Structure formats: structure tokens, C-alpha cells
């Protein structure tokens, strides 16, 4: 079985990655409607250190160029055509983006006391 990987445009748009240690736990009530939910605010400080604020917490990170690029592939299941005997049809991958750098946050979160926000850790953004 052969699944082609290809790119429609030939030069793919650059995508971005934000990497965090551990995971973000979405409150139960929002688990099923995460679309459009705010994660946090990413900001570039004048000292070159990017900062990610999640609720009351702040993470300090860095912008890292990846040693090897990551390609973002979209898997597409093609419905079986009439003449095809292969069960379930064939598969195709489209390259939709290329990631060459990431914002990496590997420190523990630091609580923000000076700037308390009125809302809870997870708030629903527009």
C-alpha cells in the first residue's frame, strides 16, 4: 500500500510550536468545548525572553531553532474508488506546514502575585 506525502504549493507556510513541560489541565466543564478557549498570553519581553502567562501563573521560556524541521502532515482518507479492491480506500498525506522554531517553556510556573486577575485559571475567551 502506497500513501503519497506531498505539498500542493511546493513551499510550505511556516507554522509555530509552543512546547510546555507537563500538560494543561482544562477544567471539567470546558473539556467538551475547548474551541476558542483561551490558553494564555504569550509576550516577548524586551530582554528577548518570551513569557507565557496562564491565569495566575507565568512561565519564562526561550525561542529555540529546531535542529531538524518538523513537517505538519494532514492525513486524508480517500474513499475507495469503484475499481479499487483495497479495503477502506487509500490514504494521502498533505504537507500543510513546516515548523522550524518553537517557543519552549521548560521552567516551573511562577505565581503572579503583583498582578492578580479576577478570573479563574481558565477563562473562556470570545
For the chain, the straight-line distance linking the first and the last C-alpha, in angstroms and rounded, comes to 44
Q: Which of 34, 84, 89, 108 binds other proteins (CB under 8 A)?
A: 34
Q: How many residues bind other proteins (CB under 8 A)?
A: 60
Our finding on whether 44 is near other proteins (CB under 8 A) is yes
User: Binding residue for other proteins (CB under 8 A) from 32, 45, 81, 85?
Assistant: 45
Identify which of residues 35 and 114 has a Cβ nearer to other proteins in the complex. Answer: 35
Rounded to whole angstroms, the Cα distance separating 53 from 111 reads 10
List binders of other proteins among 59-88 (CB under 8 A).
63, 68-76
What is the C-alpha to C-alpha distance for residues 48 and 60, in angstroms, rounded to an integer? 11
* Nearest to 80, CA basis, from 70, 72, 71, 90: 90
Q: 13 or 110, CB closer to other proteins?
A: 13
Rounded distance, CA 126 to CA 37, Å?
A: 8
Contact call for residue 46 and other proteins (CB under 8 A): yes
**Three-state SS at 28:** helix
Q: Which residues bind other proteins (CB under 8 A)?
A: 1-7, 10-24, 34-46, 48, 50, 52, 63, 68-76, 91, 93, 95-99, 102, 123-126
Amino acid at each position: 500500500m502506497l500513501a503519497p506525502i506531498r505539498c500542493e504549493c511546493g513551499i510550505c507556510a511556516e507554522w509555530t510550536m509552543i512546547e510546555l513541560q507537563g500538560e494543561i489541565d482544562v477544567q471539567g466543564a470546558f473539556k467538551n468545548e475547548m474551541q476558542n478557549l483561551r490558553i494564555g498570553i504569550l509576550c516577548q519581553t524586551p530582554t528577548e525572553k518570551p513569557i507565557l502567562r496562564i491565569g495566575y501563573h507565568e512561565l519564562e521560556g526561550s525561542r529555540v531553532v529546531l535542529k531538524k524541521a518538523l513537517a505538519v502532515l494532514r492525513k486524508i482518507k480517500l474513499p475507495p474508488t469503484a475499481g479499487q479492491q483495497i479495503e477502506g480506500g487509500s490514504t494521502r498525506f498533505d504537507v500543510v506546514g513546516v515548523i522550524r522554531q518553537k517557543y519552549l517553556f521548560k521552567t516551573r510556573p511562577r505565581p503572579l502575585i503583583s498582578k492578580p486577575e479576577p478570573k479563574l485559571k481558565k477563562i473562556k475567551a470570545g
